[in-house]
Each structure stands twice: as structure tokens, then as C-alpha cells.
Amino acid sequence: NAGVTQTPKFRILKIGQSMTLQCAQDMNHNYMYWYRQDPGMGLKLIYYSVGAGITDKGEVPNGYNVSRSTTEDFPLRLELAAPSQTSVYFCASSTPPAGGSSHEQYFGPGTRLTVT
């Protein structure tokens, strides 16, 4: 199993450009997540999905969009890049939590995005 894969690893965007960050998992996990991590800060949830066709906003969704057409893929779209979106983006997946109990999230290697 490759686990969670993300592309690209690095990207530099100009202000106002658009791009899609790709995320795929081969563990048949229903739940997928997008986080951003700014230097010295914790991960913040952007969007999440509980299954194909179902997505919802997290803590910091403004400026981003997602889709989930298959169980495996969960791309993140930036429409009009801004310097404030310079960050490291992590995609993660997990099995559904059982009765609110713990469940491990598996993370991809991240995409380092710079907007100038």
C-alpha cells in the first residue's frame, strides 16, 4: 500500500493564480481531511469528507474548495491564490471513529506552497 499520496511536493504560485492539490489514498478509508500547517502553529482543518459525494467545511475553509467523486481521491482547489495561503498542506485519511473513540489519521507527505 502506498498509503496517502500527495502531489505536487512543492509549488510556487503568483498572486491570483489557481491550482489543485491532489490527494489519493489506497486504504479504502471513508474519511479524508485537508489541513494546513503554518510555521510554529498547529494543523488547522480546511475541509473534510465522510465519503464519496459528501464534503464539509472545517475551521479555515475560505479561499478553498474540495470535491470527492471517489473514495480514493480528495483534491483541494485554490481559486485565487493569496500570500496568506503560503503554508504546508497535509491530506489525511482515516476509518470512521467507533462511538467517538480514538481513530488514527494517516497523513500524506505534504505539499509546500508559496504564494508570491
Partner 1 sequence: RKEVEQDPGPFNVPEGATVAFNCTYSNSASQSFFWYRQDCRKEPKLLMSVYSSGNEDGRFTAQLNRASQYISLLIRDSKLSDSATYLCVVKGTGGFKTIFGAGTRLFVKA
Q: Which residues bind partner 1 (CB under 8 A)?
A: 31, 33, 35, 40-45, 48, 56, 58, 90, 97, 100-102, 104-105, 107-110
Q: Are 53 and 36 contacting, i.e. CB atoms less than 8 angstroms apart?
A: no
Residue the block writes with cell 488547522:
44
Tell the smallest beta-carbon distance from residue 16 to partner 1 (Å). Answer: 28
Q: Which is nearer to partner 1, 16 or 96 (CB)?
A: 96
CA–CA dist 110, 37 (Å, integer): 10
Q: Which is nearer to partner 1, 31 or 74 (CB)?
A: 31
Tell the smallest beta-carbon distance from residue 38 to partner 1 (Å). Answer: 10
Residues 6+ apart with CB under 8 A from 40: none
